[in-house]
Every structure is written in C-alpha cells, then in structure tokens.
Structure 1
Amino acid sequence: MNDLPDPAAAVDPVRLAADLVRCPSVTPREGGALALLERALAPAGFECRRIDRNGTCNLFARWGRKGAPRSFGFNGHTDVVPPGDEGAWSRPPFGGEIADGWLWGRGACDMKSGVAAFAAAAIDFVRATPPDGAVILAITGDEEGPAQDGTVAILDWMRDAGEAMSVCLVGEPTCPDTFGEMVKIGRRGSLVATFTAEGVQGHSAYPHRARNPLHALVTLLAELTAEPLDAGSAHFEPSTLAITTIDTGNRAMNVIPARATASINIRFNDLHSGQSLTARLQDACRAVSAATGVGITPEIHVSGESFLTPPGPFVELVAAAIEAETGIRPALSTSGGTSDARFVKDHCPVVEFGLVGQTMHQVDERAEIDQIRRLKAVYGRILRDYFA
C-alpha cells in the first residue's frame, strides 16, 4: 500500500482511491480501508471515531465543533461485493492499478473513488478555508450487505451523542453515461415477498383428490401482475412488480406437490408505503386461499421506503455546482435501486451524486481517472458554496 501524501499538500483523490481499492474490504471485512481514511483525516483536524456494531466496522469523522449550527455531511461505503472469478479479470481485483486512464479494481466505481473524492475535497477545504460550521464524514462497511449495522449504526450513535448533519450528500455513482448528467433526489422503496402455498399432494391423474398449490400460486401471481400498481407520480416513474422465482423441488412429473413457493420484488414510488403494499398482498393471499382451499402464507420484508428531497435550495446548490464544474445541468432523478440515502433521509435532507456507474459490480470494474479528479472538484465547490 502506498504511503499517504504529504499532510501539507493537496490530497490526490486518485492515489487515495487506489490505496482504498487495494484494501480487500469485501462485506463485512474492513480490510484496512477505514483505518486508511482515519490516517488521512486525523492530521487535517478531523475527530475520528469508529462506530462498530455486531462485527461491522464504521467510521465517523467530524471537523469543527459538535453542535455547529451548520454541518455538511458526506456519506459513503468502503465495503465491496466479492470479485467473483478472479481469473476473469484482466487486472487483479484488489491491485488498484492505474493504467490507460483508468483506476482498476473492485470498488473503484462503487464507491471507493467517491469516498476518496469527498475525503480529499473535505481535507483540502478545511485546511484552505476553515468554515463556520462542521464537516462530517459518515462512512460504513455494510452497504453491500444486510445494511443493518452500517449507516444505521452511525445514525443511531449520532442521535445518542447529539451529533447532527444539516444536509448530506451520498457519493454513490449516479450518472448513467456522462459525468455530471444526473443527481438522485430520492429513491423508490423496495419490498420482497415470498409466498408459501400449502396444499395436498396427489397423483396428477386424479387431481380432484389433491389441492394443487401451484394452481393457487399461479392464480395469485396472475392477479398481482394483471394491472400496473400505478402510473407514476410527479417525481417518480411507475412502480414495478416482478416475479423473481417459483419453486417446488418436485422432480416427479406425475405427482402434484404439497408445497410450493414464489417470490416477487416490488419497487414502489411515493404513492405507496411498505405498510399499504403489505396489506394489499395479505388481502390477495386471503382471497386466493378462500377460493382454492390452499393456504398461502406471505413473508414480507420492506428494505426501504420511497423518499424524496424536494427541489429547493440544497438541491439547487448541488446542481449548480455540478453545472459549474462540468458544463452540464444535471437531471433530477429518483431512478435506480436502493442506497443508504434511504436511512439518511430520516436524519436530514439528502441527495446523491457521483461517478458514471457503468462498471460497478462487474468484472474489470474501473473508474476514469479524470472523472475522479473532477468529482473532487465538484465536492469542493459544493462545500465552498454551502459555507459561503
């Protein structure tokens, strides 16, 4: 691992990102990534504290006094998904190689380069123009995993410790094709439901002597997918419902099984809540069970509610800084999957902006060197404009 830059010099986000990529921090391993960041932040005057919970490592770092009237927060994660078949990579997944204008390795795109960019921007900013307020970095090692003891643990600790962010920017990759083209101002909610149907096993030649759980599941799934959940809302695309699996484990072609399961995933907008969708699914199960005589039990997990940070001063500040640095006016979007912004939104207004995300989670994941440096410049401008 390379030594950190001279504490008196501007922080090179590419070098810091490369060092982070060399940390094998596959969830839930810390891999040295948070320790590396602490060594970079502490000499610049950041008070660093590890907020570890249930084996998950997290880092809270604050420059400025606790309880400052204005506090700008950054949120991100240093954990990464597994590299998969390392033999399929053209460069070592944890090599952090810089070649052909790219930083190569697992996490280079999602999202160690984003963390490096906002850490570098924050360090340079507080050294050059110490603000009247606080700068907070909340960095987790549990975003790609269960996400129960990561950002949630940091926010729980902040609440108990009297720490607060006035606003927060999450550094996830947000741009589909061109750097600067998109800011996330919200996210859809996510719900997973597994339906277990219990019938009566029998011979397929005598179906009247059995109660077929598959017929009941097919009926249920057909009803759930017959009509769209909605037509979208002012800031959200229409909600979606996708059947993800149907399973019986039955290898006998002349036997009606006694049990079968099916799962769906719903990505929902602000016209719904996890509670309203749960009630809807439970009602559908009861109706099909009554009609077929097959018991259907739903197991439902809501991993996040939909949320929106409405366009206003904070969103405009971020968008204007991006346009000033890139020449592109970013679209305000709520598309994509979930992120830790779904937890931060209960603490303070939150938006997301980061790199182009085309290679995240892929073999040969990489980030363009120029983009990493430009991302640091955007974050630095956002800090200057916020505290101006």
Structure 2
Amino acid sequence: MSLDPVALTADLVRCPSVTPEEGGALRLLEGILTDAGFACTRVDRNGVPNLFARWGRQGANRTFGFNGHIDVVPVGDAAAWTHDPFGGEISDGWLWGRGATDMKSGVAAFVAAAVDFVRETPPDGAVILTITGDEEGDSVDGTVALLDWMAAEGEAMSVCLVGEPTCPEHLGEMMKIGRRGSMTAFFTARGVQGHSAYPHRARNPVSAVARLIDRLASHELDQGTEHFDPSTLAVTTIDTGNPATNVIPALCRATVNIRFNDLHTGTSLTDWLAAEAERVQGETGVAIDMTVKISGESFLTPPGSLSQLVADAVEAETGIRPEGSTSGGTSDARFVRAHCPVVEFGLVGKTMHQVDERVEVAQIPALKAIYKRVLKEYFA
C-alpha cells in the first residue's frame, strides 16, 4: 500500500516540535520506517533529537541519501493564525500549520517516496535518511551529530538530496546547487564618557562606530562569480543604550551580517573586518573589540551527474527545468557537502516561518513523485 505523504505531513504538523522539542515527530517516522524494513537509530546529542534510517546493507556500492528536519520555529501569536498552528488542517486546497512548508512536507515526501520505492523495486544499494531536530536552532547537534555518528559507525552516503523548500513561486523552478556563506560580526567600542558640551574631554565611541560601519557598508566586497551573486554586508544594529541628549556615552555596540560567495572565506573576511576596526581605533583612540560567529562557509556542488539527475526528474514530473541556484540563506547542506555531493530541492517556500504557514496540498504528492523518480533513475 502506497504511503500517503499528505496524511503524513498532517500527522507531522500535529507534532509540536519547536526546536529542540521532538514532539513525537521522530517517533512517528521511526515506526513507519522500521515497518518498511529500515534499520533505525536515534542519534540524539545534548538533548537534540535525530534519526538515522538505512534500508539495505551497510557499505553498499551505491547509497542515496535524503536529509531534512522536523523542528520548526515558534508560532508567534497563535491567536493571529487562521487555523490551529499544530492542527494540520486541510482547507481550500491548503494544508495549514507550523512546519507545513519548512519542512515537514518535504520530509513526508521523501519518507513516502523511499518507503514505496524499496517496497516496489528493492534497489541494488542502500537508501539512507538523516532527519534532525536542530536545523532551526544552533545546528550544532543536529545534522552535524548525525554525520559525526555516521563517520564513527562506518556509514556513508554516496550522494544526498536535502528536501528544503527551494522554489520561489512554482514547484519545479529552482534547485540549490550551493549556498552562500554566512557570518556575523559583533563590535564593541569603548570610549570615555563626558558632557556633550565638552566633547574634547570625552572620547566618543558612537562616532568611531559610525565611521567603522560606514566604511564596512560602503565597501564593495565583489561583483559576484559564475554561480554566485555579489556578496552582501548588512548592518543589523547599532546600540548605545543612552537616553540622555547631553551625555557622550562610554560604550557603543554594532552588528553586521555578511552573506558571502566563493571568493571569500570566513577567515579572510574576519581578517578584513579586524583590519578595518584596528584602522578606526588608531584614528579615533576608541578601543574596538570584535567577536565573530561563522554560521557556514560558501560551497558549490558543481553542475554534474547529481544536479542533472535531480533536474531531469523535476522536468519529467513538472515540465519545468529547474534553475541551479545558490541564493537564499543557509541550510544543513552546508554540513552534508563535506560528506558527499549534495543538492537541495523542495516545495515553494513563500509562507515558511510566517503566521498562517501553509502548503498547497497538490504539491506534496507531486514532490513525492519527483523524489521517487530520482531514486528510480539513480538505481537504474
């Protein structure tokens, strides 16, 4: 009997799995996959729930992997929702609820595709599913923990397809063949407090931060590369916490976020930021400290057999040839790429993280059909 991905999506949405809570989602999937002959292992780490499932023998010559997450962001104001955010209700052709788009529908589609595929045409090889509860959080103990466990246990994927929503408007129009890197820099400028009428007796950290931020924001990092748009730097906050108009504060903080292409690394950009901060410190006499958080490096899976396989399957099922893109934010593909070639393809993501998150019901079985075709063609 074919596994219904719409019903499974609804069941998953009804699991309140706000990061890092599992909410019953992985228990549900583990039961379904075990019944289908998958060997399942919970790979929880530091309270984060993760599931590894493999059909076929370990060390098979060909192993196709899927990766996804069941954790979701908070619902916000539940009263603002048209439908219960954890109700999994179907209305007007849409399935409503937190995670309906990002990405319980994607997980349901690849689970259903994998279960049907191994039951109908057992492949010469293995199918691995890695499902985490820590993609929307710090992402330290999710897919990273699964990959660490796999390395220790001798488990490996030959290639991997991540089921994140990738299409802007219509199912089939875009897949991700890479992602920009992401990093955040936090600056703290420490000056000398004083009266605004006597600025020569103070050392103004706000002026120093303004000078630094202007230089950073007006600097052109690059003009883009063959597969990437130009890198961007966004100023996200400048804070002094100063309510007085006649006081020069002693402290000012600022934060910038950089999304960068393959012309840069987190280290090279950190060096540039530090040099600019040191330059302003020398000009103003205001001490500027910096800390940096690198969320992920840029990466690219060069167009080749995997991207062609996915693109061919998408076109066969939808009539649309997907564009290979590196746009958008980060995903767990940034971790998988160190393990094996990885591509991302999933549903339309317009409502993800919004109030009234929802997915068009018809897209879910269509996505399952794409994933199932990918498996058939990979093992053909």
Correspondence 1:220 to 2:212: yes
Query: Does 2:99 correspond to 1:122?
Result: no
Correspondence 1:132 to 2:140: no
Match of 2:44 among 52, 55, 58: 52
Q: Secondary structure at the match of 2:20?
A: coil
Give 1:145-164 correspondences, 5 Å limit: 145-164=137-156
CA separation in 1, counterparts of 2:82 and 2:217? Answer: 42
Cα deviation code 1:95-135 (max 9, x no counterpart): 00112111110000000000000000000000000001100
> Is the counterpart of residue 142 in structure 1 residue 134 in structure 2?
yes
For 1:267 and 1:371, the matched residues in 2 are separated by: 30
Distance 2:107 2:275 in 1: 44
Supply the AA of the counterpart residue of 1:208.
H
Residues in 1 aligned to 2:230 and 2:307: alpha-carbon distance in whole angstroms: 23
Partner of 1:100: 92
TM-score (normalizing by structure 1) = 0.98
Instruction: Give the residue type in structure 2 aligned to 1:383.
Output: L
| One-letter code aligned to 1:384 | K
Aligned to 2:362, the other structure's residue is in SS state: helix
Distance 1:252 1:66 in 2: 66
1:292 aligns with 2:287: no
Match among 289, 307, 310 for residue 315 of structure 1 = 307
**Runs of 4+ that moved beyond 4 A:** none
TM-superposed deviation, 1:197? 0.1
Identical columns (%):
71
- 1:333 alignment counterpart: 325
- How much does 1:272 deviate? 0.2
Structure 1 gaps of 5+ residues are: 1-8
Cα distance between partner residues in 2 of 1:290 and 1:228: 23
Find 2:67's aligned residue among 72, 75, 82. Answer: 75
Query: In the TM superposition, what is the alpha-carbon distance from 1:225 to its structure 2 partner?
Result: 1.6
**What is the identity, as a one-letter code, of the residue corresponding to 2:136?**
E
The equivalent of 1:201 in structure 2 is 193
Q: Does 1:235 align with 2:222?
A: no
Tell me the equivalent position of 2:334. Answer: 342
1:183 partnered with 2:178: no
- Which residue type is aligned with residue 315 of structure 1? S
3-state secondary structure, aligned to 1:81: coil
Distance in 2 between residues matched to 1:270 and 1:92, nearest whole Å = 42
Equivalent pairs counted in the alignment come to: 380
What code does the residue aligned with 2:356 have? Answer: D
Distance 1:168 1:228 in 2: 35
Deviations 1:59-106 (A, max 9, x none): 000000001111000000000001111100111000001121111100
Aligned to 1:363: 355
Amino acid at match of 1:263: T
Q: TM-score, normalised by structure 2?
A: 1.00
Name the structure 1 match of 2:271. 279
- Runs of 5+ in structure 2 lacking a partner? none
Q: How far off its partner does 1:227 sit?
A: 2.3
